[in-house]
Chains A and B, each alone.
Chain A
Amino acid sequence: MSISSPERDALQFKSALVVGVGGLGCPVALALAEAGVGRIVLCDDDWVDTTNLHRQILFAEADVGSHKLDAAERALYRAGARPHSIELVRSRFLPENARELSRSVDVVIEGADNFATKFLCADACFLERRAVIHGAAVRLSATVLSVAPEGAPCYRCLFEDLPTGASAPNCAEAGVLGPVVGLAGAIMADRALSALLGDRSAFGSLVSYDGKTDRAREVSLLARAHCALCSSESSIHEITYQRYTAPSCAA
């Protein structure tokens, strides 16, 4: 999308939460800051490692050992971005802070590396009626799902619940290719900016990208009739720890 001068003015008064400042969160944060989003909240608890550098574009070799949020903040200002505020939440996105963090912004962009956080983010955003952009990338594949504040469809309409047991996707074998996460992050940022500017056209759409064939496809999802989160038969009305206890993905 292109951003007009009035839209840039409007973005000054908007806010966004980036959950996970990794391969996806880095390009998202940069794009939002450069577009003029006024308040950006970054949430991560990790430190920069040399293995991050090929895909986490806000970090350089000199940042290795620094907290990711400190390095990201420096990089955003170094790039010339001037949001009114960059807030650093040195924590994982957890059941105890999920709703408050989601409620504090206009849009949430989730690029977490584990399913528990993805479902937690989906639930918190629906309960707080916040738009959320979910992104994921493994090896050569990436997906981006845009969800309206009222869901229908939401992440649980697509994937129901956390993968469990031996048949869950084996993330430990997966790697992540820098250009693929960069592309996914760019799409996520585009969808987030659209949402902030009141464009609802991407809500409910799932973009799947395959880096091997360089093909992307976008499908419009339908709400799941018995979705546990956003249907009239919903059973999720609060955030409880027990719901998010599946093992983390090693990717």
Chain B
Amino acid sequence: MATVRIPTPLRTLTGGEDQVQAVGDTVKDVIENLEKNHPGIRERLLDEKGVRRFVNIYVGDEDIRFLDGLSTALKATDEISIVPAIAGG
């Protein structure tokens, strides 16, 4: 079971939780599992082309764009981080 760190703008979808657990062998599987428990989150992360252009997803410290993208295989101890573009200050 992977740990997914949820950024502030998406915590409205996770009941305020800053990290949640999700199951899946790949990043795509984990996102589908997240969607079951937190409806709406998939649309915030993905579009018809894949990961939205203003979102980055990391497995550990590695950007999945430089791994196998959504097909990146996961270990049970992996931590997934979502880094969306933010503007404010």
Which A residues are closer than 8 A to B by beta carbons? 20, 22-25, 111-115, 117-118, 135-141, 143, 158-163, 167-171, 173-174, 176, 181, 184-185, 206, 208, 210, 212-213, 217, 219, 221-222, 224, 249, 251
Contact = CB atoms under 8 A, between A and B. Distances in A.
B89 A136 contact: yes
Contacts of B88: 23, 113, 136-138, 171, 174, 176, 249, 251
Contacts of B63: 219, 221-222
Interface in B58-89: 58, 61, 63, 65-66, 81, 83-89
A123 to B, nearest CB: 15
Given A159-B54, A251-B88, A208 B83 contact: yes
13 contacts: A25-B89, A114-B87, A115-B85, A118-B87, A136-B88, A159-B54, A169-B84, A169-B85, A169-B86, A171-B87, A210-B18, A249-B87, A251-B86
Contacts of A118: 85, 87
Given A169-B84, A219-B61, A224-B65, A163 B54 contact: yes
Given A167-B44, A221-B63, A143 B89 contact: no
A109 B9 CA distance: 24
Point out which of B5, B54, B61, B89 has the most chain A C-beta atoms below 10 A from its C-beta: B89
A113 B44 contact: no
Interface residues of B, number: 26
Contacts of B37: none
Nearest to A114: B87
Contacts of A141: 7-9, 86
A112 B56 CA distance: 20
Contacts of A224: 65
A150 B31 CA distance: 35
B36 interface: no
B21 interface: no
Nearest to B60: A219
Nearest to B79: A217
A28 to B, nearest CB: 10
Given A136-B89, A159-B53, 12 more contacts: A23-B89, A112-B87, A113-B89, A135-B89, A138-B86, A158-B85, A160-B54, A163-B85, A169-B85, A169-B86, A176-B89, A217-B81
Nearest to B61: A219
Interface string B27-55: 00000000000000001100100001110
Contacts of B44: 167
Contacts of B81: 208, 217
